[in-house]
Amino acid sequence: MADVAGTTPRADAAPSRLAKTVRALLAQPKVVWGGGFILFLIVLAFLAPFVAPHDPLAQDLMSGTLPPIGFAEHDASFILGTDDLGRDVLSRLIYGTRVALTVAFVAAILAAVAGTLLGMLAGYYGGVIDAIVSRLIEIWMAFPPVLLSILVVAIMGSGVTSVIAAIAIIDWTRFARVVRAETMAQAQADYVTAARTLGFSRLAILFREILPNVAPVLLALLTLEMGIAVIVEAILSFVGLSVSSDTPTWGGMIAQGRQIIYQAWWVFAAPLTALFLTVLAFNQLGDGLRRALDPVMQR
């Protein structure tokens, strides 16, 4: 009985950490709408072959520049209208989501991993390591990021892999700077001193003690970087340095729509709206995650 009396209250005294975290996240409107919109895009990208009403590459010159539903001379089978080659704008928009999200997630994660490792090492060990990483960050950030990404893709050749590599190579500095500063602040905290007293190794302190406390800021920065990656991919597609012209991308649609904006404004407006909402959703999600997970902001 003593065991039962001793364990049951502790088991029921407070909800699990996971349940508390989920409730904190759902209490943030920015997490709900931003995360919900991103989740919708992910589902849309996976189910593109099933939800797209037409083949995004199919051309029909007789159906060129048909307006969206609600305008005169529209065709009900083309909800968002068609471009000058008669391709369905909605289908191309849906398939373009695949490229945008692939670049956003993969490039941001690669940049985060590289920047976080270097930032944590520089912030905790200091000395020569900190000096080398800091100088490297300064040199890297001296170059305009968009121009540097265009140069990298031009050297490596067009394609999703080149775009991802360009973003990761350039934007690791964003994570390294923030994580370095956060690690230096956390390294002075009492819990790190206690861990040293207990004999924890430096790597154990870094990854078991400091990293979880840096995670809220890191998550916010990661989602922000995803939004930036979407913009960079659109810019590279706009100038023809992303995937091949046969693959639908939002940047490529914007470039095409700009040329016929007076004849078919919807070709330009649809991908531009999708780009704006996606970047906004990533930004709002990041801010909501920071507010929900940062212990300081919860007080």
CA–CA separation, 80 and 140 (whole Å): 42
Average pLDDT for 39-49: 94
117 vs 111, 166, 177, 187, 188, CA distance in Å?
10, 19, 11, 15, 19
What pLDDT does 47 receive?
Answer: 94
How long is the chain? 299
Mean pLDDT of the residues in the chain: 85
CA–CA separation, 74 and 96 (whole Å): 23
Is 57 within a domain?
yes
Give Cα 95 distance to the centre of its chain.
Answer: 18
CA–CA separation, 77 and 91 (whole Å): 11
Is 90 within a domain?
yes
What pLDDT does 191 receive?
Answer: 83
What pLDDT does 226 receive?
Answer: 93
Is 185 within a domain?
yes
Average pLDDT for 241-266: 86
Is 15 within a domain?
no
Give the bridge partners for 88, in sequence order: 82
DSSP state of 63: G
- pLDDT > 70 in the chain, percent: 92
Predicted TM-score of the model (pTM): 0.86
Whether the pLDDT of residue 292 is over 80: the answer is: no
Is 125 within a domain?
yes
What pLDDT does 103 receive?
Answer: 93
Query: Which residue range is the domain that position 59 belongs to?
Result: 52-298
Whether the pLDDT of residue 269 is over 90: the answer is: yes
Give the bridge partners for 82, in sequence order: 88
CATH (domain of 138):
1.10.3720.10
252 vs 139, 209, 233, 282, CA distance in Å?
32, 45, 10, 21
Count of domains in the chain? 1
What pLDDT does 9 receive?
Answer: 44
In the chain, which ranges are continuous DSSP H helix?
2-12, 17-26, 29-46, 48-51, 89-125, 127-141, 145-156, 160-186, 190-197, 202-204, 211-238, 250-259, 265-293, 295-298
Nearest to 237 by CA among 259, 252, 247, 226: 252
210 vs 36, 180, 205, CA distance in Å?
30, 11, 6
Is 256 within a domain?
yes
Is 36 within a domain?
no
DSSP state of 244: -
- The answer to whether 88 and 78 have CB atoms below 8 angstroms apart is yes
Is 291 within a domain?
yes
Residue 144 pLDDT level (bands cut at 50, 70, 90) = confident
| 161-198: pLDDT as tens digits | 888 998 898 889 989 999 999 898 888 888 888 888 88
Residue 101 pLDDT level (bands cut at 50, 70, 90) = very high
